[in-house]
Amino acid sequence: MQYLSKVYYYYSIILCFLVCWVGVCIKFMFSSEVMVVELDLLSSSTLNLNIPFVVDMYSLLFCLIVLIISSSVMFYNGFYMDSEVFYSRFCKMVLLFVLSMLFLVFIPNLLGLMIGWDGLGLTSYLLVIFYQDKKSLGSGTLTVLSNRVGDVLFFMGISFASGMSTWGFVDMSESLVMGALCGVIVTGCMTKSAQLPFSAWLPAAMAAPSPVSALVHSSTLVTAGVYVLVRFSSCISSEWFIFLGLISSMTMVMAAISAVFEPDVKKVVALSTLSQLGVMMLAISIGSVGACFFHLVSHALFKALMFLCVGSIIHFSGLQDLRYLGGFIFNNPIVCSWLMVACLSLMGFPFLSGFYSKDLVLEAFLSGGGNLLLTVLVVISTCLTAFYSTWVLVGSLSGSSMFPLCGDMNSNIFVSLPCFILGIGALFGGMVMQCLVLNFNMSFCLQGVVKVVPIICVISGLLGFSVFMAFNNYNQLYPNHLNNEGEVMVVESMVSKMWFLPFLSSDLYSHKVLSGSGMMKGTVEDGYIESLIGGEGIWDSSSKWSEQYMSSQLEFLGVCFVKGIFLLIFLMSVMWG
């Protein structure tokens, strides 16, 4: 009951903020008004210190989505984290995590944005290593070091902007160093949103609890880079748009292919997040900022729902391997129904939330007349999205589990209520937002079969999975990494292991650094330094010196003793003589 009261307490705090923002958001969604509010912290004759907050459609709507998801996740913690010893500390870190994201959303300059940017990196590290084992520590270290690259680039951007006497987003557009500034901002946002070659940390962050994954991979950490690029989109030059489009399309294909060959259901969902981040970056690269933000918001709703459903299945069965899951549709029809809604929305199934935003991004890309290579990559990733989404559904819901199931989640309000709230958003959120928000209601001129390319991709992915399952088995989805001679099959390993990014991001340099440091410690520290100027060397030297000193003292005393005897004999002979 103590944990139950804490859940309701934290949930009520966030819910109060959510209700207060709803009315304000509705007003700004119908208009394009932008309001900047400055909070004076210090005002004197020599120094004025204030913090600006931007209030517009983007910040208010995204704040609303963050609060909805965070409140649902907080309530869900009553089911998933109820047995944890450090439950109170976990809730406080999650609230600090959400607060950092809100700072990033509302502060419209680089210097103030770093408060939320660094806060996200620190709290994400603490949440990833929450279980305090070696795997969590390795994943958290990879996450925080990858994000520190983006931090350094943002500090470089601040140094560039310091010559303008301003750090505001709007004032930077007239700067002479915008090329270099855009470069560091775009690359820094790529690290936070896990674009190539910084993608390895995102699946590794799955070592965190499922509620944290639902926040990180839906509306907070990984979307921070996309949101900052939405703010900077008016300042980015066309050369960086081309670079961003190429990187995002490659990220989409890499994540989709890796998700097909990944047996861990949590990592499959994480890789799907990586693929959708590529879709958002692609929308920014073609100049469709409104479509990008639309997909950012709708994706947050159904991806958080998917993580809660998958986390419930994992918590219920104790398994994460898709090869051993199954039969949940008969045991937990409510959770499985919402999982089906989330997966269909991820595919872009018609009239669900993901369909309105994802179809808008693809139409914007196809209407722009992009080159053939990018078009092929986008089409392949869209087909594979439907493929692995169907695979998650079939693997989790159909058949029978190979291990006994325990408990019943249907009557658990901590599962059903958050899934219902996010499920309503996944069902109707896209349609409602497209009707209310003017920036989301866009039209593109497409001719002939190009108009139905997104639907054809979804149908192709479904048919491809059906054909594959008709002639193959689940286990054959996973490549056998050893051939008959026992050698590693490089092509299969590259396909299933994110193009060697985990190895290149951690194992390559960490193995060399650790082995080199071990050799240096054994040779230099434990060898030369220890034997010469270290404790052992000083002990040996002092021992030898003390022995020599004692022997010299003994020799001196012996000589003095002999001389004294002779002197005594001489004096006695003189006296008796």
What is the structure's pLDDT at 506? 65
What is the structure's pLDDT at 486? 41
| 376 located within any domain | no
Query: Which CA distances in Å does 485 have to 490, 493, 500?
Result: 14, 16, 22
pLDDT digits (tens, 9 = 90+) for 451-478: 788 888 888 888 888 777 766 655 555 5
| 549 located within any domain | yes
What is the structure's pLDDT at 112? 77
Closest CA to 58 of 282, 301, 296: 296
Dihedral sign (CA 479, 484, 485, 491): negative
| Structural tokens at position 451 | 């108009």
Model-level pTM? 0.81
**Exposure of 47 in the CB half-sphere (CA atoms within 13 A):** 3
Closest CA to 310 of 192, 214, 394: 214
The structure tokens 């440091």 sit at 517
| 8-state DSSP, 321 | B
Closest CA to 68 of 460, 484, 425: 425
- Rounded Cα gap, residues 400 and 328, in angstroms: 8
Distance of CA 485 to the CA centre of its chain: 38
| Structural tokens at position 505 | 């991001």
Distance of CA 59 to the CA centre of its chain: 21
| 50 located within any domain | no
What is the structure's pLDDT at 570? 65
What is the structure's pLDDT at 199? 83
Distance of CA 203 to the CA centre of its chain: 8
What is the structure's pLDDT at 562? 64
- Rounded Cα gap, residues 223 and 228, in angstroms: 9
The neighbouring-strand residues paired with 50 are: 40
Closest CA to 74 of 96, 101, 104: 96
In this structure, are residues 279 and 190 in contact, taking their beta carbons and an 8 Å threshold?
A: no
Residue 524 neighbours by CB under 8 Å, 6+ apart? none
The structure tokens 């999650």 sit at 94
| 204 located within any domain | no
Q: Which residue intervals of 129-264 are DSSP H helices?
A: 134-161, 178-192, 201-204, 210-216, 221-232, 238-260
What is the structure's pLDDT at 511? 60
What is the b/e burial string over 65-79, where b = at least 16 CB atoms within 10 angstroms of the residue's CB?
bbbbbbbbbbbbbbb
What is the structure's pLDDT at 479? 47
| 563 located within any domain | yes
With 0-12 CB in 10 A as exposed, 13-18 as middle and 19+ as buried, what is 424? middle
| 172 located within any domain | no
10-residue block means of pLDDT along the chain (577 residues)?
54 65 66 74 66 82 86 81 76 84 84 83 86 80 84 82 63 60 84 84 82 81 87 78 87 88 85 89 87 90 89 79 74 84 88 87 79 85 88 76 53 80 88 79 74 84 79 54 43 62 65 67 62 62 68 66 68 69
Total structural domains within the chain: 1
Helix, strand, coil percentages (3-state) for the chain, rounded to 5, are 75, 5, 20
| 110 located within any domain | no
- Rounded Cα gap, residues 221 and 273, in angstroms: 12
- Rounded Cα gap, residues 282 and 246, in angstroms: 8
| 429 located within any domain | no
Range of the structural domain that residue 569 is part of: 533-576
